Amino acid sequence: MTRQLFTLLAILLCAIGFSLGFGVRTLMPAASKPIAGAQKAFAPPPETAIPAGPLGEEVALGRSIFTDTGNAAPDFVGNDLKCSNCHLDAGRRANAAPLWAAYGLYPQFRTKNGHVNTFAERVQECFKYSMNGKAPPAGDRVLVAVESYAAFLATGAPHGVKLTGQGYQKLPKPPSPADYGRGQAVFVATCARCHGADGNGQRSEGQVIFPPLWGPRSYNWGAGMGDLQNAAGFIAANMPQDHPGTLTNQQAWDVAAYIDGKPRPQDPRFTGSVAETRTRYHDTAQSAYGKTVDGVLLGAAAVVR
Ligand code: HEC
Ligand code: HEC
């Protein structure tokens, strides 16, 4: 009897230890669940905590690259977006892929490129795809500054733990499959007033005031926002900007299918064939690349302005 109890206890302890150990491993898949104890929202330090001296200068430079990317890092940007258009509140907002939650999750294996990525490489990828630009080379000032800013925002955050608010909300599947036509109706009623009827955003006195959602100055086909699940999660939590959280789950998926069913710049991994590029990089229900939507074969025509 005592022996049985002892065995039971040992098994229980092992199980607890295993699940905890599993949760805090650094090289964990991105989709693993938050562990108990990481539930409390993490608060990044305020701007005023940026230290004086060379480190603080680097952090501040990283912040300006993050929020004014085209002006602060023009060599690496090929569109009208800023990092902070998708990583809101200068990379601070939960459920908008905040930097404080990202920093401690690297090195991380990513199925997207099939190897372990450092944090720097993850940033390079957003330059290449989301910014439709060029990856700053390893050790480049731009990369080091963005890393410094992310490290500053993550001050005091546990390493290797998936924090609440990390990434974009994983929105449950909609009641009926995401639909381009219904999405268009949502777009016209709810989004066009800011992002423009043509989805190309709006400028005033040379400045982009509302970022483009598709077209030649938006993210390219390789970007994470081109994945329906990411776009729906971002939109549900953060858009419309002045009334976030007001769309139904169905509306968020439908409007995501609409904007991600529009032409945008070519995937930089383009092999020369749309069909082959789809098979290699977009062979999922979450991507419309290589499909014909609204009479347009997505990925086929050059999208330039
Ligand atoms: C068009 C929207 C968009 C823009 C602009 C953008 N990103 Fe991202 N970023 C994303 C998406 C979507 C993901 C998540 C991708 C995924 O999970 O597949 C992401 C992920 C990241 C991550 C990893 C987050 C995590 O929790 O693992 C980092 C770091 C990052 N971006 C940095 C940047 C930087 C730096 C810039 C500017 C140079 C930038 N991003 C511009 C959409 C964007
Ligand atoms: C009140 C104006 C406004 C409305 C309405 C609005 N947005 Fe936005 N949206 C913005 C602004 C501003 C940003 C950039 C946020 C930032 O930089 O802080 C943005 C960013 C975005 C982004 C990421 C950046 C990009 O260009 O890809 C997406 C995607 C997006 N909005 C989709 C939508 C959708 C879908 C709707 C309708 C459901 C919508 N927005 C309604 C103002 C608006």
How far are the Cα atoms of 41, 190, 219, 291 from residue 82, in angstroms, in the given order? 25, 22, 10, 28
253: number of CA atoms within 13 Å, CB side? 16
| pLDDT tens-place values along the chain, 305 residues long | 445 545 544 444 434 444 443 333 334 444 444 444 445 689 999 999 999 999 999 999 999 999 999 999 999 999 999 999 999 999 999 999 999 999 999 999 999 999 999 999 999 999 999 999 999 999 999 999 999 999 999 999 999 999 999 999 999 999 999 999 999 999 999 999 999 999 999 999 989 999 999 999 999 999 999 999 999 999 999 999 999 999 999 999 999 999 999 999 999 999 999 999 999 999 999 999 999 999 999 999 777 55
Cβ neighbors of 72 (< 8 A, separation 6 or more) are 61, 64, 65
Secondary structure E strands in the chain: 108-110, 115-117, 202-204, 207-210, 292-293, 296-297
User: What are the chain's domains?
Assistant: 47-153 (1.10.760.10), 180-297 (1.10.760.10)
Distance, in Å, from the CA atom of 114 to the CA atom of 75, rounded to the nearest integer, reads 27
Ligand 2 center–CA 23 separation, angstroms: 34
Q: Which residues pair with 204 in a beta bridge?
A: 207
Quick one: DSSP state of residue 117? E
Pocket of ligand 2 from Cβ distances under 6 Å? 81, 84-86, 88, 186, 190-191, 193-195, 210-213, 218-219, 225, 234-235, 239-242, 247, 255, 259
How far are the Cα atoms of 71, 163, 219 from residue 111, in angstroms, in the given order? 32, 21, 20
Supply the residue whose CA is at minimum distance from atom 29 of ligand 2: 213
